[in-house]
Amino acid sequence: MLANHMDQLAWTCDELGLATWYNQRWYAFTGTSFESMRGDGWKTVHHPDHIERVVQGLSASLRSGEPWEDTFPLRGASGEYRWFLSRAAPIQDERGTVVGWFGTNTDITEQREAQDELCRMNEDLRQFAYSVSHDLQEPLRTISNYTALLVQRHGGELQGDAAEFLGLVHQASVRLQHMVRDLLAYTRLGTEGQDQTEADAGEALARALDGLRAAVEDSGATITHDPLPLVRVPPAHLQLLFQNLLGNALKYRGDAPPAVHVAAERLPAHWSFSVRDNGIGVPESQRERIFGLFKRLHGPEKYPGTGMGLAICRKIVERHGGSIWMEPAPGGGADFRFLLPV
């Protein structure tokens, strides 16, 4: 009674994989009878493009006695194929010998269609963002270059509002250039293949500091670090991660010169990294918001930037199976923590 009224299709087979029973859901969906399904008759309702793989997988489980799982389409009574998640578990006697199997098929067609549609939408959105950010670079470069030339060659001839407006146009074009550059970097993170080679976090940090050398010298910052491990993240991604976190620590500083410390601790399944500074910190209510795209807590006049640095950090970390968050640092400042799988 239970098996006949469950939502899944259900069946049993003997130790050789030959069918011995089906529930009423199976017959209602497939429009078959036990006589047509007896033995290996079940193959007739499987999609021909999948049947060979299904038989191989099921045969391997029959030999090993291990549970079986696969996903494939089955043909219904109307002739329409629907996708099912299928599982089978061995039935053992008192000596542990497999004497049969009990299996179920769960209809996942709607879930697959929703997932496929979501993937298509995400891909369309990614392509759009990439195209826009890529195609905008050239006209923005032209605007920025020519406004810079106007300021350089004719800035002294302009007075009052005209000089101010030209300066604002140039600043806005440069800021938009940086925003488009960061957007392009963000979209590229979703297209690059997963790199399974190990990267030295210490070397990535050193390269990030090379890129920030001028900012470190201008701010009088002190940056220290513990020994850092090897992690399965592409070196370029790891360098970009450190560069954004350190750049924020140098930018959002208080009255004292910046002091930043980078540490790593081995946990059972992860490396736990910490980038701790003595800057202005982040209010508790904003600690999640700051990881969003274009989210800024301060105007660009005081702290220049595009509001994408931490969004890029989150995408890098999550793309490689980790997580990132921010905690207040002891004595003030921010402590950005992120986990990466060992």
Assign residue 333 a region: left if phi > 0, alpha if psi is -120 to 50, beta otherwise? left
What pLDDT is stored for residue 140 in this prediction?
79
Mean pLDDT, the chain, rounded, equals: 86
Is the model's pLDDT at 125 over the cut of 80?
Answer: no
Quote the CA–CA distance of 218 and 221 in Å, as a whole number.
8
Q: In the structure encoding, which two tokens stand for residue 120, read together?
A: 């298509």
Is the model's pLDDT at 307 over the cut of 80?
Answer: no
The alpha-helical segments, DSSP class H, found in the chain are: 2-5, 24-30, 34-37, 51-64, 109-154, 160-188, 201-211, 213-219, 235-251, 309-319
Q: In the structure encoding, which two tokens stand for residue 90, read together?
A: 């061995």
What pLDDT is stored for residue 235 in this prediction?
87
- Which of the two residues, 222 and 175, has the higher pLDDT score? 222
Using N-to-C axis directions, what is the helix angle for 109-154 and 160-188, rounded to 10°?
A: 150
Cα 226 from chain centroid?
28
Across residues 37-60, what is the average pLDDT?
90
pLDDT in tens, 213-250: 888 998 999 999 999 999 988 888 898 899 999 998 99
Quote the CA–CA distance of 231 and 269 in Å, as a whole number.
12
Quote the CA–CA distance of 83 and 153 in Å, as a whole number.
68
Q: Where in the chain is the domain with CATH 1.10.287.130?
A: 113-188
> What class is the 113-188 domain?
mainly alpha
CATH architecture of residue range(s) 195-342: 2-Layer Sandwich (3.30)
For tokens 């470069």, what's the residue? 141
Q: Which residues pair with 82 in a beta bridge?
A: 74
75 in Cβ contact with 30 (< 8 Å): yes
Give counts: helices (H), strands (E), the chain: 10, 12
Quote the CA–CA distance of 232 and 235 in Å, as a whole number.
9
**Residue range 2-107, CATH number:** 3.30.450.20
Across residues 315-341, what is the average pLDDT?
91
- Which of the two residues, 186 and 157, has the higher pLDDT score? 157
Report helix, strand or coil for 15: coil
342 in Cβ contact with 270 (< 8 Å): yes
186-203 as b/e, with b when 16 or more CB fall inside 10 Å? bbebeeeeeeeeebebbe
Quote the CA–CA distance of 306 and 175 in Å, as a whole number.
7
Quote the CA–CA distance of 323 and 307 in Å, as a whole number.
19
Cα 230 from chain centroid?
21
Q: Where in the chain is the domain with CATH 3.30.565.10?
A: 195-342
Q: In the structure encoding, which two tokens stand for residue 48, read together?
A: 């021909």
Is the model's pLDDT at 342 over the cut of 90?
Answer: no
Q: Is 181 exposed, middle or buried (0-12, 13-18, 19+ CB in 10 A)?
A: middle
Is the model's pLDDT at 205 over the cut of 90?
Answer: yes
pLDDT in tens, 62-107: 999 999 999 999 999 999 999 999 999 999 999 989 999 999 999 9
Across residues 25-48, what is the average pLDDT?
91
335 in Cβ contact with 326 (< 8 Å): yes
What pLDDT is stored for residue 301 in this prediction?
56
CA distances from 75 to 3, 26, 55, 83 (A): 21, 11, 16, 9
Across residues 30-50, what is the average pLDDT?
90
